[in-house]
C-alpha cells in the first residue's frame, strides 16, 4: 500500500520509471502535468468511477491528456484533490497554470484589445488601466467566490460583499459619472471623482460581470442601478438626502418597479394606480408588479403608477400593504426577482419623483444608461465564452486530434471571435459619444444607436451560446464539470435579450429614430 500523501511529501521527486512501478489496484499512482498523484484510496471515491483508473495506459502512467479531456484544471486545485499530489517528476516542469487572481488572460481574444499585449486603443488612459487592475483583483478575490456559492444556495449576495463594494464606492461608481460621486474616495483614492467618465464605468461593469453567475450579477445591486437614478435626479432634497446614501452604502436596497403581468413597455396598459387622499397629503397605491429585480430583498421601490393626470413615478418604502414574493426564474434566485402586491399602501406625496403625470420622462431618462450597462456586460461575457471554447477545443482530443483541428469547429470560433470584437468596438464608439455629449444630446441622439447596439450584442450573445453548446456537446448542457459555464451562459443569456427592452423592440426603436431623421430631400 502506498504511503498516505501529506503536504510535506509533495516536494518529493520521482522518475517516470519509479512512478510506473505503482501500477496496481492497491498501489496506484498517476502523472498529471508532471505532478505525481497517489490515487490508491481516492479511486474508490472518484466521481468518474474506479474503472477509468484501471487501464494499462493510466496505472502508473502519464494521464495528462486523459485528465484534461475530462476535467477542468480547477479540479486539481480543490484542497481535497490537491492533497493527492505526492511529488513531481525529476527534471520536468508543469505546463498548465491557472490564471492568478487579478491577472489578465494570455488566451487570444480573451481580453478586449486595449488589454491585449502589444495592441493599442485611443479610449483608455492610465486611470482606466489602474481601475481595471484593482477591480479585477477585487472581483476575483471577493465577488467570484461569493457568486459561485450563492448561485448554489440561491441566497442573495452576501452582505459582506455589499459592504466591501460600498467601502470602495463601487456601488456609487456603478451609477455612472455625476454629482453623486462628489467628495467620495473612489477605489481607495485611485480615481478622482471629477475624472471618472463612462469608460471608467464601462471597465467596472465589464470586469464585474466575468463571474459566470448571471443571476448573482443582477443580485449585486442591479435594482439600484435602475431604481436609484429617478430618486437621484427627480427626488425632493429630503428624500434624496436620506435614501441615496443608504443605498450607496450597501445598507439598504431599492428596486425599479414598472412592469406588470398586464403590461411591460406599454406604459398605457399599466394598472397599478395611485389616488390622492382627500387632504391631498398622501397617495394610496393599489396594484401589482412583476419581474422586479432585487424585489424580494429591497427596502424601497421606485413605482410606476397611473394617476388622474397620467403616469407618475412614486417612491414606496416597504411596509404595510407591500408584499413581495420570489418568482422562479431560469437563472438563480440570487437576483431576488419578485412579484409585488401593493394594497392600499399609503405614501406621502413628497415621495413623488418628478412632476405628477410626467412619469414617462422620469422613466425615459433612465433607459439609455440601463441599456448601455447591459451592453457592457453582454459584450464582455461573450468573450468569457470565447475563452472557454478556445481552451476546450485545444485540450479536448477527438479521433486522436485536438477539436480545433476540425475546420467546422474553427469556423464556429471565427464567428464567435468576430461577434465579440465587433460588439466591443461599437460599444466603445458609443461610450466615446457619451463621454463627449451633453446629457440632453445623449438622450436625443443615442437612444436609437444604444437600442440597436443592445439588439446586436444580445443576438450575437445568443448565437455564441448556441455555437458553444455545439462545441461542448453534452457537456454544454450539464450543470457540473467541463461545460458548466457554457450551460450557465446558454441558459441565462436570453435575460440580456429581454431585460431593459426586448431585442426586437429596441431594434425597431433604432430604425424608427433613423426614419425620423431622414432629410426631406433624400432621394435615390
Determine, following the binding rule CB under 6 A, whether residue 2 of this chain makes contact with ligand HEM.
Answer: no
Cβ proximity to ligand HEM: between 47 and 118 the closer is: 47
Cβ proximity to ligand HEM: between 321 and 481 the closer is: 481
Determine, following the binding rule CB under 6 A, whether residue 54 of this chain makes contact with ligand HEM.
Answer: no
3-state class (DSSP) for residue 357: coil
Determine, following the binding rule CB under 6 A, whether residue 39 of this chain makes contact with ligand HEM.
Answer: yes
Determine, following the binding rule CB under 6 A, whether residue 485 of this chain makes contact with ligand HEM.
Answer: no
- Of 198, 172, 199, 171, the closest CA to residue 183 belongs to 172
Cβ atoms of residues 336 and 293 within 8 Å: yes
- Please give the residues from 5 up to 34 whose contact with ligand HEM meets the rule CB under 6 A: 30, 32
- Of 497, 467, 492, 494, the closest CA to residue 479 belongs to 492
Determine the Cα–Cα distance for residues 142 and 136; give it in Å rounded to an integer.
10
Determine the Cα–Cα distance for residues 254 and 281; give it in Å rounded to an integer.
24
- Based on its alpha-carbon atoms, the radius of gyration of the chain, rounded to whole angstroms, reads 27
Determine, following the binding rule CB under 6 A, whether residue 477 of this chain makes contact with ligand HEM.
Answer: no
Cβ proximity to ligand HEM: between 213 and 427 the closer is: 213
We find the least distance from the C-beta atom of residue 457 to ligand HEM, in angstroms, to be 31
We find the least distance from the C-beta atom of residue 48 to ligand HEM, in angstroms, to be 2
Taking CB under 6 A as the criterion, the residue among 3, 4, 25, 52 binding ligand HEM is: 52
Determine the Cα–Cα distance for residues 158 and 385; give it in Å rounded to an integer.
26
Q: Cell numbers for 260, please give them.
A: 406588470
Contact window for ligand HEM (CB under 6 A) among 11-19, 66-74, 265-273, 344-352: 66-74
The residue with its CB nearest to ligand HEM is 48
Strand partners, 27: 24
Determine, following the binding rule CB under 6 A, whether residue 48 of this chain makes contact with ligand HEM.
Answer: yes
Cα-based angle 515, 364, 290 (whole degrees, multiple of 5): 115
Contact window for ligand HEM (CB under 6 A) among 6-14, 62-70, 214-222, 461-469: 62-70
Determine, following the binding rule CB under 6 A, whether residue 447 of this chain makes contact with ligand HEM.
Answer: no
Outline where DSSP puts E strands in 395-500: 397-398, 401-402
We find the least distance from the C-beta atom of residue 148 to ligand HEM, in angstroms, to be 13
We find the least distance from the C-beta atom of residue 403 to ligand HEM, in angstroms, to be 15
Contact window for ligand HEM (CB under 6 A) among 59-67, 147-155, 313-321, 341-349: 59-67
Strand partners, 302: 256, 315
We find the least distance from the C-beta atom of residue 74 to ligand HEM, in angstroms, to be 8
- Please give the residues from 231 up to 260 whose contact with ligand HEM meets the rule CB under 6 A: none
Cβ atoms of residues 462 and 509 within 8 Å: no
Q: Cell numbers for 359, please give them.
A: 412619469
Determine the Cα–Cα distance for residues 284 and 345; give it in Å rounded to an integer.
5
Query: How many other β-carbons are positioned within 10 Å of the β-carbon of residue 265?
Result: 14
Determine, following the binding rule CB under 6 A, whether residue 66 of this chain makes contact with ligand HEM.
Answer: yes
Determine, following the binding rule CB under 6 A, whether residue 481 of this chain makes contact with ligand HEM.
Answer: yes
Count of residues engaged in binding ligand HEM, rule: CB under 6 A: 20
Cβ atoms of residues 10 and 41 within 8 Å: no
Q: Cell numbers for 352, please give them.
A: 413623488
- Measured CA distances, 292 to 48, 245, 363 (Å): 41, 22, 15
We find the least distance from the C-beta atom of residue 56 to ligand HEM, in angstroms, to be 11
We find the least distance from the C-beta atom of residue 39 to ligand HEM, in angstroms, to be 6
Q: What is the DSSP secondary structure assignment for residue 252, as one 8-state letter?
A: S
Cβ proximity to ligand HEM: between 375 and 403 the closer is: 403
Determine the Cα–Cα distance for residues 385 and 467; give it in Å rounded to an integer.
10
Contact window for ligand HEM (CB under 6 A) among 47-55, 147-155, 284-292, 316-324: 47-55
Q: What is the DSSP secondary structure assignment for residue 50, as one 8-state letter?
A: S
Determine, following the binding rule CB under 6 A, whether residue 348 of this chain makes contact with ligand HEM.
Answer: no
Taking CB under 6 A as the criterion, the residue among 21, 44, 46, 238 binding ligand HEM is: 46
Determine the Cα–Cα distance for residues 220 and 214; give it in Å rounded to an integer.
10
| Residue linked to cell 481595471 | 132
Cβ proximity to ligand HEM: between 71 and 355 the closer is: 71
Between 79 and 108, how does the x/- string for binding to ligand HEM read (CB under 6 A)? --x--x------------------------
Task: Please classify residue 403 by burial: count the beta carbons closer than 10 Å to its beta carbon, then call 0-12 exposed, 13-18 middle and 19+ buried.
Answer: buried
Cβ proximity to ligand HEM: between 46 and 325 the closer is: 46
**Residues within the interface to ligand HEM (CB under 6 A):** 30, 32, 37, 39, 46-48, 52, 58, 63, 66-67, 70-72, 75, 81, 84, 480-481
Amino acid at each position: 500500500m502506498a504511503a498516505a500523501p501529506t503536504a510535506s511529501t509533495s516536494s518529493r521527486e520521482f522518475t517516470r520509471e519509479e512512478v510506473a512501478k505503482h501500477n496496481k489496484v492497491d498501489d496506484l499512482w498517476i502523472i498529471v502535468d508532471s505532478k505525481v498523484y497517489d490515487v490508491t484510496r481516492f479511486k474508490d471515491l472518484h466521481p468518474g468511477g474506479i474503472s477509468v483508473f484501471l487501464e494499462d495506459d493510466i496505472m502508473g502512467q502519464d494521464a495528462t491528456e486523459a485528465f484534461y479531456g475530462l476535467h477542468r484544471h480547477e479540479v486539481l486545485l480543490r484542497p481535497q484533490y490537491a492533497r493527492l499530489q505526492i511529488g513531481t517528476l525529476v527534471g520536468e516542469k508543469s505546463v498548465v497554470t491557472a490564471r492568478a487572481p487579478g491577472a489578465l488572460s494570455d488566451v487570444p481574444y480573451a481580453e478586449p484589445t486595449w488589454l491585449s499585449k502589444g495592441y493599442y486603443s485611443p479610449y483608455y488612459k492610465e486611470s482606466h488601466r489602474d481601475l481595471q487592475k484593482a477591480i479585477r483583483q477585487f472581483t476575483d478575490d471577493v465577488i467570484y467566490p461569493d457568486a459561485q456559492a450563492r448561485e448554489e444556495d440561491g441566497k442573495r449576495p452576501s452582505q459582506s460583499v455589499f459592504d466591501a463594494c460600498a467601502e470602495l464606492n463601487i456601488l456609487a461608481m456603478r451609477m455612472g459619472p455625476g454629482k453623486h460621486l462628489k467628495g467620495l474616495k473612489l477605489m481607495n483614492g485611485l480615481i478622482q471623482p471629477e475624472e471618472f467618465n463612462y469608460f471608467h464605468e464601462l471597465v467596472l461593469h465589464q470586469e464585474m460581470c466575468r463571474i459566470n453567475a448571471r443571476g448573482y450579477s443582477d443580485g449585486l445591486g442591479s435594482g439600484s442601478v435602475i431604481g436609484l437614478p429617478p430618486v437621484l435626479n427627480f427626488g425632493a432634497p429630503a428624500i434624496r438626502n436620506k435614501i441615496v446614501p443608504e443605498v450607496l452604502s450597501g445598507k439598504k436596497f431599492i428596486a425599479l418597479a414598472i412592469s406588470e403581468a398586464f403590461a411591460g413597455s406599454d406604459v398605457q396598459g399599466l394598472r397599478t394606480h395611485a389616488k390622492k387622499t382627500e387632504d391631498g397629503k398622501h397617495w394610496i397605491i393599489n396594484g401589482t408588479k412583476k419581474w422586479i429585480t432585487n424585489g424580494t430583498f429591497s427596502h424601497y421601490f421606485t413605482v410606476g403608477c397611473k394617476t388622474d393626470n397620467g403616469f407618475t413615478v412614486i417612491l414606496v418604502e416597504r411596509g404595510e400593504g407591500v408584499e413581495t414574493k420570489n418568482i422562479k426564474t431560469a437563472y438563480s434566485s440570487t437576483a431576488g426577482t419578485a412579484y409585488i402586491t401593493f394594497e392600499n399602501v399609503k405614501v406621502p406625496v413628497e415621495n413623488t419623483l418628478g412632476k405628477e403625470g410626467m412619469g414617462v420622462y422620469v422613466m425615459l431618462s433612465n433607459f439609455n444608461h440601463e441599456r448601455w450597462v447591459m451592453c457592457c456586460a453582454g459584450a464582455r461575457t461573450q468573450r468569457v465564452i470565447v475563452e472557454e471554447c478556445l481552451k476546450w477545443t485545444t485540450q479536448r482530443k477527438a479521433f486522436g486530434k485536438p477539436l480545433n483541428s476540425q475546420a467546422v469547429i474553427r469556423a464556429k470560433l471565427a464567428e464567435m471571435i468576430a461577434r465579440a470584437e465587433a460588439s466591443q468596438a461599437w460599444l466603445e464608439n458609443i461610450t466615446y459619444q457619451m463621454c463627449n455629449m451633453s446629457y440632453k444630446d445623449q438622450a436625443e441622439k443615442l437612444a436609437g444607436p444604444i437600442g440597436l447596439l443592445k439588439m446586436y450584442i444580445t443576438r450575437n450573445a445568443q448565437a455564441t451560446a448556441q455555437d458553444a453548446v455545439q462545441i461542448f456537446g453534452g457537456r454544454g448542457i450539464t450543470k457540473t464539470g467541463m461545460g458548466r459555464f457554457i450551460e450557465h451562459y446558454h441558459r441565462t443569456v436570453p435575460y440580456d435579450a429581454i431585460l431593459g427592452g426586448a431585442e426586437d423592440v429596441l431594434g425597431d426603436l433604432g430604425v424608427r429614430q433613423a426614419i425620423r431623421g431622414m432629410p426631406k430631400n433624400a432621394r435615390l
